[in-house]
Amino acid sequence: MKRALCKLFFLLATSAPAFAQAEDPGYTLHVYTDRIQFAALILDKDAQPLEHLRREDIDLSLDSGKSFHPTDLRVEGDDPMELAVLLEDANSQTPFLNAFIEQFAALAPTLLKPQDSLRIFAVDCSVFETQPSFSNPTAAQINSLIGQLRHREGFHPANGKRDCHARLPLRDAELTIASWLQHQPGRRVLLVVSQGDDGRSKSDASTVRDFLATSGIAVVGVRDRVHFWMNNRGLPFSLQTLNAPHAYATDGMNDELDQLAAGTGGFVMASEPDVLGADISEIFRLLRARYIVSYPRPHRDVAGVHHIEIATRGGYTVRITGATAPLVTKEQLEDPNAVPSADSPAIYGKRKPLR
């Protein structure tokens, strides 16, 4: 069985009840949310999504506690997606970036569903963002918005002279976007088009990774395969790398972007201009093929960060996205009108999460 870890974060916060009106207008039932839910990308040895998994095929455990099966298991499919795209425009991969923009603008209108939302960011020496999220984008809209981003005053492509690659605040840009993205509904995905190098961020890698993981944000990286290989041939190989069918991820490299993606339930595509269209389509196929795993919250909630471990039968690569959930309050527990929650099989173990 293949095993993977992710982090869950339980907050001391109040869950607003949903109200179900009974026949007697003077009596109200209070229904409180009691499910924990997260996305899991489960692939076979050929990097293809495993199909037809049943909940009995998956074992979960919290902080290395007693294992249990999820209550519900389904494919993500057409769940609403909140997609943020971060374009690194630091003169390090300009031809590749231009090719990505062309292909993404052409494909996104068909790959994004009406219920999905898109927002585009760009970074060189600082972060520049588009207008608020929008749905049902056309190729012309995407090209127009990206063009506005890349030609703002002070952004280096406007004058062709500034190269911020050595001072690129990539982590800070990711953290800024995540601070906005964590509050959005839907399945949150940060698509980072970058070589993955950081030049001068104030945020360290573990802080960014933990924040995105506990915010339920999956990071997907897209980079120029040839450029990356030529500049990073000394990096060690990693069995953790996701070998996606078209791009084979980072050719076995295990760098910061790959670690960020792995720690948030995502993956990295190392691509080339002539296959970028196929790789962009593959990214969306893999995201839509994730499983949504849910189970009743533990009866004895403990605030803070917890590890959840997932083991699958037949899974070769497992990537899981973290989640945040509110704790049950004393008022909810003592509410005489609350609909009773189902018994939870989840019990915390004694393992202390590593930070």
DSSP letters, 289-303, are: T-EEEEEEPPSS---
Is residue 324 a part of any domain in this protein? no
pLDDT at 226: 77
Residue 254 confidence (pLDDT): 62
For the chain, how many structural domains are there in total?
1
- What average pLDDT does the segment 16-38 reach? 53
pLDDT of residue 209: 92
Q: Give the CA angle between residues 200, 248, 236 to the nearest 5°.
A: 55
Lowest-confidence segment of 46-50, 122-126, 160-164, 189-193 by average pLDDT = 160-164
Separation of alpha carbons 313 and 42, rounded Å: 10
Is residue 140 helix, strand or coil?
A: helix
168-194 pLDDT, tens per residue?
Answer: 788 999 999 999 999 999 999 999 999
Q: What are the backbone dihedrals phi and psi of residue 40, each rounded to the nearest 5 degrees, phi first?
A: -135, 125
| Confidence (pLDDT) at 232 | 62
Residue 28 lies in a domain: no
State the pLDDT at residue 190: 98
Residue at 135 is within a domain:
yes
Could you tell me the CATH number of the domain that includes residue 241? 3.40.50.410
Residues 249, 261 contacting (CB under 8 angstroms): no
The reply to whether 162 falls in a domain is yes
pLDDT in tens, 298-320: 767 677 778 888 888 776 788 88
Most confident of 18-27, 230-239, 268-277, 312-321: 268-277
Q: Which amino acid is at 107?
A: L
Cα–Cα distance, 177 to 121 (Å, whole number): 8
Whether the model pTM is above 0.85:
no
Is the pLDDT at 237 greater than 60? The verdict is no
* pLDDT value at residue 175: 94
Identify whether 92 is part of a domain: yes
pLDDT of residue 345 exceeding 50: yes
Please give the Cα distance from 252 to 262 (Å, whole number).
13
Q: Is the pLDDT of residue 82 over 50?
A: yes
243 Cβ contact partners less than 8 Å away, ≥ 6 residues apart: 47, 249
Instruction: Give 125-134 contacts, CB < 8 A, sequence gap 24+.
Output: 125/154, 125/156, 125/162, 125/164, 125/167, 125/168, 125/169, 126/169, 127/169, 127/172, 127/173, 127/176, 127/177, 128/152, 128/155, 129/177, 133/82, 133/184
35's tokens: 């499910």
Contact 75, 292 (CB under 8 A): yes
83-87, 242-246, 346-350 — which is least confidently predicted?
Answer: 242-246
Q: Chain-wide mean pLDDT for the chain?
A: 78
Asked, for residue 121, whether it belongs to a domain, the answer is yes
pLDDT at 152 over 80: no
Domain of 194 in residue numbering reads as 81-288
* CB proximity list for 153: less than 8 A, separation 6 or greater: none
For the chain, what percent of residues have pLDDT higher than 70?
A: 70
Write down the pLDDT at residue 238: 37
Residue 281, pLDDT > 90, answer: yes
Rounded Cα gap, residues 68 and 310, in angstroms: 10
Q: In what order do the strands lie in the sheet with 81-88?
A: 127-129, 117-123, 81-88, 187-193, 217-224, 267-271
- Which tokens hold the place of 177? 């976007």
Token duo for residue 93: 């991969």
